[in-house]
Structure 1
Amino acid sequence: MKLIHSLFLLAGFSLIAACQSSQANTMVLLDANIKEVNISPSMGTGDINQEVIFSFRDAQSVEVWETAITTAVKQSSEVINTSPDYDIVVEYEEGYPAHAMHLWLGQENKKSTLMYLVEEDGPYLTSALLTNQLRELLEQAE
């Protein structure tokens, strides 16, 4: 009986460790309701362009942006030699601080790159499917 109990504990700890490891390798947002996602043409890394060209407030669009961000997987540190395409500011309800990041929008069926405004250790990649969804949102907003 102790053996079975020990095996269940070991399995539980392994599951918790795997979840924490996975979470550490993806981008994070606050656990709060997102009010809107604002998009600006980027003027380079390290700063956010305040000239918003697209603002997404509807639940479906916000969910696509949130999924793209929170599922983007951290890559090894590497220098990106081009300027980002867009700046993203995720604004929350109830006055929580906003999240600012850069987006290098991938071509159709290719991955996109996201990076926090102040990044110490490497970019994050979305899936090609999410790149397609982001491209569609941006095209519809034009």
Structure 2
Amino acid sequence: MKKLLLLLLFSSLCAITFIGFQIYLNKEMTLLGTITEVSISESEGYGGINDNFFVSFKKTETVSNFEDIMKSAKRKREDVNREKPDYDILVQYQDDNYHLLHLLLGNEGEESAFMYMGYEHVYYITPDATKELRQIINVED
């Protein structure tokens, strides 16, 4: 009876650990409220932000599309295949909060990756979201 109880306890712990790990891997990006403006610049590397923004948008539809893309991003893994990000992004919220992000923009048909500046977690978006993001940024292949 003790062995059965121990086996059940061990199985339960393994299941809880597995479920917790799956939740950890698929965590979504955290937004701080309603986004009011998004500014984008070419990145100079990790850790800092290039404040020479080449595009900044406040249009409700564009901001809403960008917000939907961010909400769709999922943390799947921690690896990044490139030495430096392509773009730096300043996301400003209605209550004066902001996020600084790095973006590794995929080519057409590829995933892209967001990272909060100063953190190592990587959030991936689908190839379809990459296509939409490329249109928002106005990047052509």
Superposition map of 1:42-81 within 5 A: 42-81=43-82
How big is the shift at 1:75? 2.2
Superposition map of 1:113-124 within 5 A: 113-120=113-120, 122-124=121-123
Q: What's the Cα RMSD here?
A: 2.3
Q: Does the 8 A contact of 2:25 with 2:76 survive in 1?
A: no
Distance in 2 separating the partners of 1:133 and 1:78: 23
How big is the shift at 1:66? 0.9
Structure 2 partner of 1:133: 132
Q: Does the 8 A contact of 1:38 with 1:89 survive in 2?
A: yes
* Secondary structure of the corresponding residue to residue 108 of structure 1: coil
* Secondary structure of the corresponding residue to residue 94 of structure 1: coil
Q: Deviations over 1:81-134 (max 9, x none)?
A: 321110011101232x210110011111211111110114x3111011111011
Distance in 1 separating the partners of 2:67 and 2:25: 15
* Secondary structure of the corresponding residue to residue 41 of structure 2: strand
What's the % identity of the aligned pairs?
A: 34
Structure 2 partner of 1:28: 30
Change (3 A) 1:22 1:76: closer
* Secondary structure of the corresponding residue to residue 83 of structure 1: coil
Distance in 2 separating the partners of 1:75 and 1:56: 29
Give, as a single letter, the amino acid of the residue that structure 2 aligns with 1:83.
K
Distance in 2 separating the partners of 1:80 and 1:23: 18
Distance in 1 separating the partners of 2:26 and 2:125: 15
Give, as a single letter, the amino acid of the residue that structure 2 aligns with 1:55.
S
Greater Cα shift, 107-116 or 72-81: 72-81
Q: Does the 8 A contact of 2:28 with 2:75 survive in 1?
A: yes
Question: Radius of gyration: which is bigger?
Answer: 2
Distance in 1 separating the partners of 2:87 and 2:116: 12
TM-score under structure 1 length normalisation: 0.75
How big is the shift at 1:65? 1.2
Give, as a single letter, the amino acid of the residue that structure 1 aligns with 2:62.
S
Q: Does the 8 A contact of 2:37 with 2:92 survive in 1?
A: yes
Q: Does the 8 A contact of 2:26 with 2:76 survive in 1?
A: no
Give, as a single letter, the amino acid of the residue that structure 1 aligns with 2:114.
L
Q: Does the 8 A contact of 1:103 with 1:115 survive in 2?
A: yes
